[in-house]
Structure 1
Amino acid sequence: MNRETSQNLLPVVSNEPNKNTYNINPIHKLVDGEIAVGYNSLANRLKTEKTIIIDGYVGVDWIEIVNNLTAILKSNGFTVSTYNIQDCLKPENELNNIVAPYLNGDDPVFGKKTDLKLLDYFNQKKLANIQLDNRTDVQIVFGTGAALSKIKGCLVYVDLPKNELQYRMRANEITNLGFSQAKPHKQMYKHFYFVDWVVLNEEKKKLLPKFDIIIDQQRPEQPTWTEGKALRKSLTNISQNFFRVRPWFEPGVWGGNWIKEHIEGLNPNVPNYAWSFEMIVPENGLIFGDQNGWLEVSFDMLMFLEYKNVLGNAANRFKYEFPIRYDFLDTYDGGNLSVQCHPKPEYIKAEFGENFTQDETYYILDAESDAQVYLGFQEDINPEEFKAALDNSYQTKAELDVEKYVQKMPAKKHDLFLIPHGTVHCSGINNMVLEISATPYIYTFKMYDWQRLDLEGNPRPLNIERAFQNLNFNRKGTVVQDTLISKPTVEAQGEGWQKIHLPTHPDHFYDIYRYEFEDEVVIETNNQCHILMLVEGTAVELSVSTQQQTFYYAETFAVPAATQKYKLKNKGNSKAKVVVTFVKEDAC
């Protein structure tokens, strides 16, 4: 299975010693089970099963799985028959008709989250009349949706990380669910985001309590797998202690060099790194490992199984949707981000089907002396004039005098800029931004992009009309300094430590604190999930109950609500500074 990316595959396992620095592959302990590697071990586990149901995610290489299992079983003297559940799918023209209302035509970015179910893709008469070959020793029903057959058997689920799915997409190796031809990549991603992922995540939630075996199929010819009950116990364990998702990194047209210079293990032969998906959980995974191998599953499995443990008081509002996002925006020696805004809550719900909107903040993790942020309008902003200037720039390719309309202010390390919905903004060059935000992450209405092309040499799509349906022109002049730049206050302190409040905007449903300490601090969760990052210092040791884990500078980690209390111990020689984010109690 080809993949188009500069990034290496996740190793099957690594025994390299910890380098005491940011780890791109955080591993969680597997509880009461072992991870196995390869098709031989999988076939040996399955050989006593008369009927095997192999279901899984879009993008999985079903041919590899079934051909390997069939060949190994036959070489061991078993007769095998297979049934591809794809034979029960509705014709493509019908599928096209049912998904089209959610794809918004040729729009390159935005559709609307579907309410379709996986069963809607199938001819139910065919599903009800599947005939297996009972003369064989082993019968295999396989493919996305195989469990819909209702045939009894050993249930196997095959997962695929979202980053690998997209690498396969970019290589034109996979298609959207039920379709035989690959679409242009932006259209395919849109179809994944608004339709396929929604449908298949709901099905995954149903199958999670029931599957007997879980397979990670991201490495060609080298699957890793374990028993379903071991995975479920392991998910419950981390829901009561701590977790860190596997980050992934992407270059971009405005990207910089901070990530390349500070984070080891990434391919250096890329033009830049613009993003790190530190905790953009719809696309992140969790890795479980032992001495045999590593197995990655999608983060949403944790939420499907243990969202109440994870979110505590916020569980009733957000349910299976993890509410908070951490990511990096690196413009060191790079370029400005696009001039942009994000949708109002009622707009994102009506237009795109999201339950809450993309309210953001920029926490400045690092910055050069000339770093700046664009935020809010100038006092004399004229909306009609601004719109005319944007339209003219788009049509004529003329450069826009952004500072005539948008304020530009210096950015210093540890500043926090507040970006509630409707706020015009972008990061300037030479910032390393920790973006702390609500989870939605694709709803950026770009108005101006400095007349540049993307990494493939194509114009980046603008959304001027959508932006003007959401811009808040009252966020201008001194209002920006008064309400959109957080003003830290010391809320509590003791010998060698301070608890500093970095107030967010009333529109933000999350709050931000920073703990600064020489030795250690003890923090109560107050039944909220805490998302943390060491933003200054070298390392901190997290202690929860009977477990400890060391986290290093710039690593994102989370302490679930169910943990109740945890301790952070400074492992460095200078003061540690840790940012903590959680849902406001009055927003639950």
Structure 2
Amino acid sequence: MEEETVKRNTKQYLAPMKAQATPRGVYDLYPAFPVGENKICSGIGCLADWIERHGQVVIDGYGGVFWDELVSELGDEFRRRGKWVRWFRTDVAMRDARTLEEMLAPDLGGEDPLFGRVTERQLRDWFDPGKLNAFRPDQEADINVLIGIGAALAGWKAPLIYVDVPKNEIQFRMRAGWVKNLGMNKPKNNQQTYKHFFFVDWVVLECLPQIELIVDEQRRGQQLLMMSGEDLREGLHRMGRNFFRVRPWFEPGAWGGQWMKQHIPGLNEEVPNLAWSFELMVLENGLMFESNGYRLEVSFDFLMYNDYRQVLGESADVFKTDFPIRFDFLDTFDGGNLSVQCHPRTTYIREQFNMPFTQDETYYILDSRQNPQVYLGFQENIRPEEFGEVLKQSQAEGKTIDIEKYVQKFPAHKHDLFLIPNGTVHASGKNCMVLEISSAPYIFTFKMYDWLRLDLNGKPRPLNVQRGMDNLYFERKGERVAKELVCHPEVLEKNEHYTLEHLPTHEKHFYDVHRYTVEDAVEVETEGSCQVWMVVEGKAVRVETREGMRQRFNYAETFVIPAAAATYRIINETPGEKVILVKAFIKKGYGFE
């Protein structure tokens, strides 16, 4: 474990190889979908057995895998077995780093620390075709292995192994200086590396449909986990017709709080705070499969590439493999205010960043204390030119801004919902536990004022005053804010079993929100949309699907019911105590503007 610590710069624990479900009402850090008995194998020996049986294999995989270590560990194992292995490494077929940097320059945003453009390149562009096609198996060798990113492009007629690693672990390895961007000679600073991941690497490194063995490499050596491609696809298929919950992960931040540390057992409490929980931020989440207690994790992308139509239903042609909804926690209990910020307009995010849709958010107040506030919308007398000048002066000279002179504040009560369509000035105040319900994009935040504070590394966080000014809707001001941006719930159904409320979102939001207060049970239909749920009060519910699957979900856990589930039942597991859930789903007939 000492080596693991050196190669991971984080206080968060490595996901265990084995885990058990938590008791009722206790948040589960490692949720998993069952795939049956004896489906997951562990250890480098198991991988070597599979390779030896086939004799000639292709091993492709994700950026962030420790390829050198994998080759070394397999090489040691085969030497112990007396087998001669001929290794072919795809990195020798890559174009040189300078050529790749020139190719990618238009996508990487120059010196901008945060933003680039989503690349339209394909993985094949990283390689010299002549070198990639020149790999030929050695007939004298006992075993031939073509290994590395892009190996499947070489066209070998051999079984394909895919080695995956979760996005959070990639970032922890990056922060420790052990991971660099695809084709680069050396690591950049963390901000630049992450930007390169987001706009380039994670775009081109798509999952492959013909995988015959999937390997989870986050725990190496004897803790490698693997499963057949057939079992993986069957698990994904069943998941896409029943339910799923991604594995969440957690990060501290400049304004972070203490609620999650106090309410979620099993987190490392040595961190000063926790600001975010990636509850359903699918680009950076994984899905765990369980067999005999083993927890094998794959990237969320696998589910969408396997069959996004099952998951999305009527909106599949709109979003395709982009899962559209995001849930995450913003914890400011005993912390600080979020930055005063906004998100880009739809045309702006498309033209500047090549994103298909923008970041339309809401704040659902899961919990609060000591009369907290949410900053939202402008004062009636806002003067845009003055606001812009004050922001720029604060950034240049380090001057405090009386932000309430320009931005309104609203009391934030438990179970309130605030609407934050793109272009709206906003910030959560301290002592809020916010469930952020949003469209899926998440890094496109234009911070305009950050209270003159430093990040956890003692440096100012980057501001984007001009980008923010270019996107703000200054007409969202005065009384209009309370009418249009503070949600006013409406009761749709009420009986002895449950109460259903509509929490109307803004006309700009492509998703809507319902809230259920369940006394005993409720039957729900997907109505052609995926549905994202969270238990926001009470201990736990049990979901039962028409295919006969059952799963408990506890307080503060997010789970998804795919459109293909059609009908299902939610049962309150603590009769006599009400349980409250919120549900987000795609509005009927939605299409991009």
Q: Match for residue 463 of structure 2?
A: 462
Per the alignment, residue 377 of structure 1 pairs with 378
Partner SS for 1:543: strand
**Structure 1 runs (4+) greater than 4 angstroms displaced:** none
Deviates more, 1:436-445 or 1:30-39: 30-39
Moved more, 216-225 or 416-425: 216-225
Aligned-residue sequence identity (percent) comes to 49
Shift of 1:292: 5.3
Equivalent position of 1:220 in the other structure: 220
Counterpart AA for 1:48? R
Q: What is the aligned counterpart of 1:558 among 551, 557, 560?
A: 560
- Residue 443 of structure 2 aligns to a residue whose secondary structure is coil
- Match in the other structure for 2:119: 114
SS of the aligned residue for 2:313 comes to helix
Task: Tell whether the 8 Å contact from 1:33 to 1:227 is kept in structure 2 after alignment.
Answer: no
Aligned partner of residue 306 in structure 2, secondary structure: helix
Q: Distance in 1 between matches of 2:293 and 2:252?
A: 32
- C-alpha contact (below 8 Å) 2:21/2:31 kept by paired residues: no
SS at 2:282 equivalent: coil
Aligned-pair CA distance for 1:586: 2.4
Matched, 1:482 2:487: no
For 1:69-148, list aligned pairs within 5 A. Answer: 69-148=74-153
Q: Would you say 1:576 and 2:573 are equivalent positions? A: no
CA contact 2:497–2:522 (8 Å) conserved in 1: no
The alignment status of 1:197 with 2:202, answered yes or no, reads yes
Deviates more, 1:563-572 or 1:500-509: 563-572
Of 25, 28, 38, 2:43 maps to 38
Match of 2:589 in 1: 586
* Structure 1 residues 292 and 373: CA distance shift in structure 2, 3 A: closer
Q: How far apart in 2 are the matches of 1:509 and 1:191? A: 29
Equivalent-residue separation in structure 1 for 2:540 and 2:37 (angstroms): 30
1:210 matches 2:213: no
Task: Check whether the contact 1:31–1:233 (CA below 8 A) recurs between aligned residues.
Answer: no
Separation (CA, whole Å) in 2 of partners of 1:280 and 1:12: 23
Letter in 1 for 2:561: V
The 1:544–1:136 alpha-carbon spacing in structure 2 relative to 1, beyond 3 Å, is: same
Superposition deviation, residue 220 in structure 1: 2.6
Give the Cα separation in 2 of the matches to 1:16 and 1:424. 41
TM-score (normalizing by structure 1)? 0.98
1:276-300, CA deviations, whole angstroms, 9 ceiling, x for partnerless residues? 0000001000000111521100011
What is the one-letter code of the residue matched to 1:453?
Answer: L
Query: What does residue 152 of structure 1 align with?
Result: 157
Contact 1:510 1:584 in 2 (8 A): yes
SS of 1:48's equivalent in the other structure is helix
Q: What is the distance in 2 between the residues matched to 1:253 and 1:122?
A: 41
Contact conserved, 1:31 with 1:234, CA < 8 A, in 2? no
With 265-274 and 147-156 compared, the bigger mean Cα shift is at 147-156
Contact residue 538 and residue 576 of structure 1 kept, 8 A: yes
Letter in 2 for 1:101: P
SS in 1 for 2:317: helix
Are residues 1:547 and 2:552 paired?
A: no
SS at match of 1:77: coil
Deviations 1:519-559 (A, max 9, x none): 11111110110100111111111111211111111000010
CA distance in structure 1 between the partners assigned to 2:239 and 2:463 by the alignment: 41
Q: For 1:505 and 1:16, locate their aligned partners in 2 and report how far apart those are by CA, in whole Å.
A: 38
Amino acid of the structure 1 residue aligned with 2:426: H
Q: Deviations over 1:251-278 (max 9, x none)?
A: 0000000000000110011100000000
Q: Within 2, Cα distance between the matches of 1:258 and 1:57?
A: 34
Alpha-carbon displacement from aligned partner over 1:121-160 (angstroms, at most 9, x marks no partner): 0000111222332210101110001111111212100001
CA deviations 1:20-67 (Å, max 9, x no partner) are 411010011125861011101111122122211100000101112111
Checking the alignment, whether the CA contact within 8 Å between 2:368 and 2:414 is kept in structure 1 is: yes
Query: Cα distance 1:16–1:300, how it changes in 2: closer, same or farther (>3 A)?
Result: closer
Which residue number in structure 1 is paired with residue 64 of structure 2?
A: 59
RMSD, matched Cα: 1.1
Matched with 1:366 is 367
**Post-superposition shift, 1:77?**
2.3
The equivalences for 1:47-446 within 5 A come to 47-201=52-206, 204=207, 207=208, 209-221=209-221, 222-291=223-292, 293-446=294-447
1:212-255 C-alpha deviation (Å, 9 max, x unpaired):
10000001322100101100000000100000000000000000
Q: CA deviation at 1:15?
A: 4.5
- Equivalents in 1 of 2:198, 2:507: separation in Å? 29
* Equivalent position SS for 1:313: coil
Distance 2:530 2:279 in 1: 16
Deviation of the 1:19 alpha carbon: 6.0
TM-score by length of 2: 0.97
CA distance in 2, matches of 1:272, 1:541: 31
Note if contact 2:216-2:298 (Cα within 8 Å) is conserved in structure 1: yes
CA–CA distance in structure 2, aligned partners of residues 261 and 8 of structure 1: 17
**CA 17–263 in structure 1, closer or farther in 2 if over 3 Å, else same:** closer
Provide, for residues 506-527 of structure 1, a one-character-per-residue CA deviation record: whole Å limited to 9, x for no partner.
Answer: 0000000001121111111101
- 2:63 maps to a residue whose letter is V
Change (3 A) 1:17 1:513: closer
Q: Displacement, 1:496?
A: 3.5
On the 8 A contact 2:363/2:435 being kept in 1, the answer is yes
Quick one: distance in 2 between partners of 1:31 and 1:282?
27
Aligned counterparts of 2:122 and 2:502: Cα–Cα separation in 1: 44
Paired positions, count: 583
1:25 match: secondary structure: coil
Mapped partners of 1:538, 1:183: distance in 2:
45
Separation in 2 of the partners of 1:237 and 1:185? Answer: 38
Q: Which amino acid in the other structure matches residue 335 of structure 1? A: G
Supply the distance in 2 between the matched residues of 1:146 and 1:241 (Cα, whole angstroms).
34
Residue 24 of structure 2 contacts residue 540 of structure 2 at CA under 8 Å; is this kept in 1? Answer: no
Question: Please, which moves more after superposition, 94-103 or 16-25?
Answer: 16-25
**How far apart are residue 18 of structure 1 and its match?**
3.5
Q: Which runs of 5+ in 1 are unaligned?
A: none
**Aligned residue number for residue 569 of structure 2:** 567
Cα distance in 1 for residues equivalent to 2:332 and 2:56: 54
SS in 1 for 2:374: strand
Q: For 1:585, what is the secondary structure of its paired residue? A: coil
Contact in 2 for aligned 1:31/1:231 (Cα 8 Å): no
SS in 1 for 2:125: helix
Aligned letter for 1:568? I
- Matched to 1:567, the amino acid is R
Verify the 8 A CA contact 1:33 1:230 in the aligned structure 2: no
The structural deviation recorded for 1:75 is: 1.5
Instruction: Sort the Cα spacing of 1:470 and 1:84 in 2 relative to 1 into closer, same or farther, 3 A.
Output: same
Q: What secondary structure is seen at the aligned counterpart in 2 of 1:47?
A: helix
